[in-house]
Structure 1
Amino acid sequence: MTGRVPIPWATPILWGHEESFVLDALKSTWISGGRYVSRFEEELAAFLQVRHACAVANGTVALHAAYLGIGVERGNEIVVPGFAFMAAANIALHMGAIPVFAEVDADTWCVTAEAIERRISARTRVIVVVHTYGNVCDMDDILALARDRGVPVIEDAAEAFASRYHERFAGALATVGTYSFHATKTITTGEGGMVVTGDPAIHERVALFHSHGLRRKRHYWHEIPGHNFRLTNLQAALGCAQFERLDAIVRERKRIHRTYAAALKDVAGVRLQVFRPEVDPVLWALALELDPAAYPQGRDRVIEQLASEGIETRNGFYAASQLPIYPDCGPLPVCERLAKNVISLPTFPSLDEQQISYVSSSLAALRK
């Protein structure tokens, strides 16, 4: 390893009132629910231009709550992409539903209407699209297909908070949208999530399920067998402070995207994720596909080599067809190719130009 300060893959940025807001929540003694939770919900609903927002404990339970809000039942099929973080599929499995995996586009790495159509059946209850790495799926075609088939769509926008599609925000385009505020995400509450929808009936069910099936008007009366998916006031205080600085955070993430793209555009053997003209991405992570001809040592060895230079990177997602927990998933050639060759580079707002140059040149130097 060199004498350089190691470059992490991600680090949270606490630029604003995080400490004072969290301390205020602590001093108020409202450390479970509280006013920061409702403020966080209201501010994000206004920003995203959606009618309803429900803060939850993380992005995975956001998907669980969305399924419950829509009415997913045991035996229902849920169409999901085969290359993505597998939360949507895993929760479906836990609920007794059946995840049905669709191929993704070889350039954008997002699921397409054509791939979804090949997987829809009479048992399909919901379509889940995942806006991978901050890209946004081609929602016009997907929503047209969903309307034609009478199937609701959930957007898993965990990795795409503040990304836009035709000037509208990812997660606010379909029946329901879900977000994650994990420590590595665009804004963070440590762990946290949000469910948004324009459908009041779905929102009511989500709100009930996320808080034990209780209404505030009547203590301990369970209208439905709910869960505890609630976000705490302490976490929401952190989220409110992060949201105040969203413009600056987005600006820095876009700077990082531009700088990497410029540094890597002429590097043979490196293929950057493609973004359609109507997509204005805010990247969760800058990811790229390595050409095995240029990197015959393989992606995993490249990760090790970069680590020896003090650079932390991550492999791409595994394809569903590679995971033993999904033995009935058939072959997914594009997903499997991406799983083998995709690598994501350090991406966080305080990453400077010199660090990006070092990461990019180090990656280029590993070509054979």
Structure 2
Amino acid sequence: MIPWAKPTLFGKEERYVQEALRSTWISGGPFVDRLEKDFCETLQVPFAAVVSNGTAALHLAYLALGVGHQDEVIVPGFAYQAAANIAILCGARPVFVEVDPATWCLDPSALESAITPRTRAIVPIHTYGNVCDLTAILSVARSRGTPVVEDVSESMMSEWEGRQAGTIGTIGTYSFHATKTITTGEGGMVVTRDPELDQRVRLFRSHGMLRERRYYWHEAPGHNFRLTNLQAAMGCAQLESIQEIVARRRAVHAMYRRELDGESGVTLQHFDARVMPVLWALALKLDPGAFPQGRDRVIDQMRELDVECRPGFYAASQQPIYDSLALPVCEDLARNVISLPTFPDLTEELVHTICQGLRKLKR
């Protein structure tokens, strides 16, 4: 079976984790500080706070911005909906907007009508390795004085106009899940250029305490969203290999493009010329005329061919926990998008096998 994703490990991960174990620093420790420092250097940002997972990163971003009861948070209707779920848990209301039918990212033209006096944040979710139109989004956000939280869980190291995604808005949040660009098993990061926001993230990350000020003194009600030294050790090793990971992911993307550009019956996700993507997953939209059996049946048939695929995200308007108006573009993508195996160790031969399998299923 060709898996949909798997982490790429380089050997230093085991050595660094053993080093952390031998040091007996297994909760907090020096690898945590090192990972934050290395992340800042890699992304060229002044502040980075490592956390327990990407969802915790979003939660801390909202808390740092003061998102709370009766506030509104604007999110795209086609995406992994951690950003919406955390808004609800903060007492806010997610306001879903359409995505661009070509890029599948938040449509900036939908923002003006969605912003209200209650809007506390706009959350562009950079989907599948793509980057939202940050120039247009930030233009609207700045005109309204609204913070922008970039969810970069799927697009670490992707660039917008030569700048790292996640470093352009008010706050950027990252995931280090096993399927992501780098992994610590579970983990994440919050980055910002604002020292006050960074301090608030760190405060809420650790029970509302800042130990450099005073031990066991709670300045705010907070969580324990800290990452362990063991996990951070793995992250440090991964980050040392980030350029190789990026190069391999871009090579896999190029392989798929050579196979599928111009292929009848499928439409690949579009990347704006201003985007330099690092693919999380190769996603494409199936034409129901070419695949009348439907996307879900195609996934089953690919599994029969020993290829694991996944469906696109369900539209917010299709899910019972959300209060959303109809979102036709999101709903169309939800019905027809499929993502193919994508990880750095994929070879040209395997990519060809995957694409040939998909071709066999066309009618």
The two structures share one fold, judged by TM-score above 0.5: yes
Match of 1:230 in 2: 226
After the TM superposition, which residues 232-271 of structure 1 pair with which residues of structure 2 at under 5 Å, given as runs? 232-271=228-267
What residue identity is the alignment partner of 1:75?
Q
Instruction: Give 1:75 shift.
Output: 0.7
Match of 1:3 in 2: none
Match of 1:80 in 2: 75
Give me the whole-angstrom Cα distance separating, in 1, the residues matched to 2:328 and 2:107. 15
Match of 1:57 in 2: 52
Instruction: Give 1:73 shift.
Output: 1.3
Q: What SS does structure 1 have at the residue aligned with 2:56? A: helix
Give me the whole-angstrom Cα distance separating, in 2, the residues matched to 1:198 and 1:189. 24
1:197 corresponds, among 187, 192, 195, to 192
Give me the whole-angstrom Cα distance separating, in 2, the residues matched to 1:16 and 1:42. 21
TM-score, structure 1 normalization: 0.97
Q: Is the 8 A contact 1:287 1:345 kept in 2?
A: yes
Q: Percent identity?
A: 59
After the TM superposition, which residues 264-283 of structure 1 pair with which residues of structure 2 at under 5 Å, given as runs? 264-283=260-279
Give me the whole-angstrom Cα distance separating, in 1, the residues matched to 2:314 and 2:2. 24
What residue identity is the alignment partner of 1:292?
P
Match of 2:94 in 1: 99
Match of 1:116 in 2: 111
Give me the whole-angstrom Cα distance separating, in 2, the residues matched to 1:266 and 1:23. 48
Q: What SS does structure 2 have at the residue aligned with 1:253? A: helix
Give me the whole-angstrom Cα distance separating, in 2, the residues matched to 1:358 and 1:266. 18
Instruction: Give 1:95 shift.
Output: 1.1
Deviation sequence 1:123-144 (CA, Å, 0-9, x none): 1111001000010001011101
What residue identity is the alignment partner of 1:233?
N
1:207 corresponds, among 202, 209, 217, to 202
Give me the whole-angstrom Cα distance separating, in 2, the residues matched to 1:23 and 1:249. 23
Give me the whole-angstrom Cα distance separating, in 2, the residues matched to 1:293 and 1:156. 34
What residue identity is the alignment partner of 2:99?
V
Give me the whole-angstrom Cα distance separating, in 2, the residues matched to 1:219 and 1:338. 50
1:301 corresponds, among 276, 297, 301, to 297
Q: What SS does structure 2 have at the residue aligned with 1:160? A: coil
Structure 2 residue 292 is matched with structure 1 residue 313 = no
What residue identity is the alignment partner of 1:33?
G
Instruction: Give 1:282 shift.
Output: 0.2
Instruction: Give 1:281 shift.
Output: 0.2
Give me the whole-angstrom Cα distance separating, in 2, the residues matched to 1:16 and 1:130. 32
Instruction: Give 1:47 shift.
Output: 1.3
Instruction: Give 1:216 shift.
Output: 1.4
Q: Is the 8 A contact 1:267 1:364 kept in 2?
A: no
Give me the whole-angstrom Cα distance separating, in 1, the residues matched to 2:76 and 2:107. 9
Match of 2:330 in 1: 335
Deviation sequence 1:68-98 (CA, Å, 0-9, x none): 0111111100000000000000000111100
Structure 2 residue 281 is matched with structure 1 residue 285 = yes
Structure 2 residue 154 is matched with structure 1 residue 128 = no
Structure 2 residue 13 is matched with structure 1 residue 14 = no
Q: What SS does structure 1 have at the residue aligned with 2:101? A: coil
Match of 1:66 in 2: 61
Instruction: Give 1:168 shift.
Output: 0.4
2:20 corresponds, among 19, 25, 28, to 25
Gaps of 5+ in 1: 1-5
Deviation sequence 1:289-342 (CA, Å, 0-9, x none): 00001100000000000000000000000000000001x201000000000000
Structure 2 residue 39 is matched with structure 1 residue 44 = yes
What residue identity is the alignment partner of 1:17?
K
Give me the whole-angstrom Cα distance separating, in 2, the residues matched to 1:123 and 1:225. 23
Give me the whole-angstrom Cα distance separating, in 1, the residues matched to 2:306 and 2:112. 44
Q: Is the 8 A contact 1:57 1:231 kept in 2?
A: yes
Give me the whole-angstrom Cα distance separating, in 2, the residues matched to 1:219 and 1:199. 25
Q: Is the 8 A contact 1:320 1:329 kept in 2?
A: yes
Instruction: Give 1:16 shift.
Output: 3.4
Aligned length: 362
Q: What SS does structure 2 have at the residue aligned with 1:344? A: strand
Would you identify which runs of 4 or more consecutive aligned residues in structure 1 move more than 3 Å? none
Give me the whole-angstrom Cα distance separating, in 1, the residues matched to 2:235 and 2:170. 24
Deviation sequence 1:131-179 (CA, Å, 0-9, x none): 0001000101110110001100000000000000111000001000000
Instruction: Give 1:118 shift.
Output: 2.0
Gaps of 5+ in 2: none
After superposition, the CA RMSD in angstroms is: 0.7
Match of 1:35 in 2: 30
TM-score, structure 2 normalization: 0.99
Deviation sequence 1:33-60 (CA, Å, 0-9, x none): 1110111001111111111100000000
Structure 2 residue 325 is matched with structure 1 residue 353 = no
